[in-house]
Each structure stands twice: as structure tokens, then as C-alpha cells.
Homo-oligomer: A and B are copies of this chain.
Amino acid sequence: MQQRGTFQLMKSVNKSIILNKIRIAEPISRAQIAKETSLTPPTVSSIVKELLEEGLVRESQLGESSGGRKPTMLHINSGAFYVIGVDAGPETVEGVLTDLTGEILQRAKQKLEKPLNNEKFIDILKDNIRHNLAAPGIDQTKIIGIGIAMHGVVDVETGMSLVAPNLNLKNVPIKQELEKEFNIAIKVENDARAMALGESWFGGHGEADSMVAVNIGRGVGAGVVMNGKLYHGAQGIAGEFGHMTIDLNGSICECGNPGCLQTFVSGASIAERARSRMGEGAPSTGQEVYELAQEGHAASIKLLQETGRIIGIGLINLVHLINPRKIVLGGGVMKSEAFLMPAILETIRQRALTPKARQTSISVTRLGEDATLLGAVALLLVEMFDPI
């Protein structure tokens, strides 16, 4: 049954409003919070008092007065708690320890030597996490949980990795194993979705009500964030952007269907098209295509521009269906941003059905590789900051 109206609801709604206000607008005074949220000053004071007691928020020296008492500024108490985030990609496992503001305090990275099996993989995860758990100068009891951004298909409820194609693994009970080992909160999510959450929380997008982050690299994935939370859909598969059919007669994708967006714009697909067009001496990876383009190689530049056009077509489908306020692009392929973006933006401009559709903000992530790691961290922060 749905969330009913109780005093706890009322309070936790307000608490979360205030906490998020502080997170997004710090430093900020109580009075300012009251103004901007239209909560009354006593409500703000009493909730802030609790937040101070819980250690989630701290006060700092007074701010500037504009003809009256100086305001006491409030901040997220970044050192009150810590979170571990792990990005388990197709080739490496990378982990970070961060504070509550997403500041990275320590990193750990390992290669995934193949062939793997479930036990080996879990062991590598554990090693990685142990390193960050034992960070010098950090009180272990202050670490509130571990978020895992896992490549492949994930069941969020059970925290199980169902299929991880590039690792050649199936049904890895990540959450179960890690909970047993570390006895701490564990969240597991698909990596593209985690990236979306990371972007939404730490990408400097303010309080955007809806955002889609698209990762274009080895594959193409997307995550949909609404009101600061991941949207999963009824069966938890929303955002499978890479396998959107955009060409009825396109070539067959690894998923078995013809004409998926991914068959045009993933790194491997770009390389493949280069091969089929340029023949002998063609670049053999997306990276090489990019390097050639940078050197002014006309065919490579054209290839990337075409790729941008097709990404644009995929995005306009997204705009017309989901109509998010922002779309953020990331992943290896987006390193060719300089060649892709003009074509992407032009395609969207051309194809938008209405002038309003053109208002969707399209940008490239400024977080780079860390978006996914920070997203893994945000999996825990969401619970802390938005406990409804």
C-alpha cells in the first residue's frame, strides 16, 4: 500500500526538504531556508536542531549581515559519515571512500584477470572494499554503507548481478555475500543507472526534477532520475536506451535484434564502420578514430559527425518520450565530444517536434569516470537524505 499520511511522514518530508536544501545551497542560514522552502522559522529551527544532534549538519561562523543579526550558516557535516562506492566495470574494479559531500578521500583499483568465476569476482570486490574500509584516520563505525555500480543486468531488490556479459558471469549474489562479510548496508545497481544518479547528485545540476544520463562506451546504457531518485519502471528495466530500435533494416546487435542504437554508436560499432569504409589501415578502435579525427583525418571526422547525428536521433526519441529537463552524456565515446556534439545538437534542433522540445539541456558530464563511482556512493546517500 502507498505511503499514508502520518506525523512521521509530515516530519520526514520537511526534514528531507531542509537537509537537501542545505546540501544544495550550503552555506545557508535557517532564515533563508525558511524563506526558500516556505516552512516556518520554528519548524526549521527544530529540525535543524535534530540534524545538528545527529551530526549530519554543522554550523559555521556567522555570515554577512544586511542590517540585522548575523545569520548562522549551516553546512552538511561532511566528516560525520563516510560511504564506499565501487564501480565494477568490464575490466576493472574501482572503489572510493568519500564523505557525505562526495569528496573522494581514498581510491583503490584492481584489474579483473579473466577467466573469472563468481567466487573470484566476489573476492576481488571484497579486497577492494577492505582497502577503503581501512582508510587511515577514518572511524570505521562512521561508514554507513557500500554502493556497488555493477556492469550488466542487476536485480536491485535482491542485489544480485543477473548477467554480466563482459565478465562472463551470471547470478552473482553480490549483496548477500558482501552483507555476510562486512555486516553493513549494501546497495547494488546497474552501472549506467548509477552514473545517472551520480551525475544528478554531484554534477552541479541543482534541483533538476528530471534527468537522463546516457553512457556511450562499450555499450550504451541510460539511467532516468526523477526528483533525485532513480526511476526503475515496473519491472526494473527502464532506461534500456542502447537497445532502442532506430533502424528497421540495421545490422544485428549483440542482443539479437536488428537496428539497435548501440549498433551505430558504441565504441566497437564506430570502429567497425571505420573498417568497412576505410578498408586497409582503418582505425581499429573508437579511440583510434578519435585520434585520427584530431589530426584532421577527414573520413574519421565525417564518421564521428555521422555518429553524432545518430546519437542525436536516439536522444530526440528520448526527449519526445520521456521529456527530461536535462540529458547528460558520458562514457568513452563522448571523449570525441568536440566532433560529436555539434552534430548531436544540430540533429536535435532539426528534429524537435516543437520549440519546447529544443529546450532540453544536453551536455557532457563534467565528472568523467567518477560519475559512476559517485553514483554508487549516492545510492546510499539517497537513503540518508531522502528517507521517505
Contact = CB atoms under 8 A, between A and B. Distances in A.
A209 B234 contact: yes
Nearest to A388: B5
Contact of A320 (B243, B250, B351): B243
Interface stretch (A10-18, A138-146, A166-174, A178-186): A10-18
A263 B147 CA distance: 45
Given A235-B357, A353-B240, A245 B313 contact: yes
A13 B3 contact: yes
A116 interface: no
Nearest to A237: B323
Copies in the complex: 2
B320 A321 contact: no
Interface stretch (A36-44, A282-290, A294-302): A36-44
Contacts of A245: 246, 313, 316-317, 351
Contacts of A318: 321
Contacts of A233: 210, 322-324
Interface string A214-237: 000000000000000000111111
How many A residues are at the interface, by size bracket? Answer: 35 or more
Most buried by B among A245, A257, A357: A245
A37 B4 CA distance: 8
A325 interface: yes
A336 to B, nearest CB: 20
A1 B356 CA distance: 22
Given A234-B209, A257-B351, A320-B240, A5 B11 contact: yes
26 contacts: A1-B37, A4-B17, A5-B14, A7-B10, A9-B10, A153-B354, A162-B354, A210-B234, A233-B323, A234-B359, A235-B323, A235-B356, A237-B353, A237-B356, A238-B320, A239-B323, A241-B320, A244-B317, A245-B313, A245-B351, A247-B248, A247-B259, A248-B310, A318-B321, A321-B321, A322-B322
Given A4-B38, A233-B323, 16 more contacts: A1-B38, A4-B14, A4-B37, A234-B360, A235-B354, A238-B322, A238-B323, A239-B320, A239-B321, A240-B321, A240-B353, A245-B316, A247-B247, A248-B310, A318-B321, A321-B321
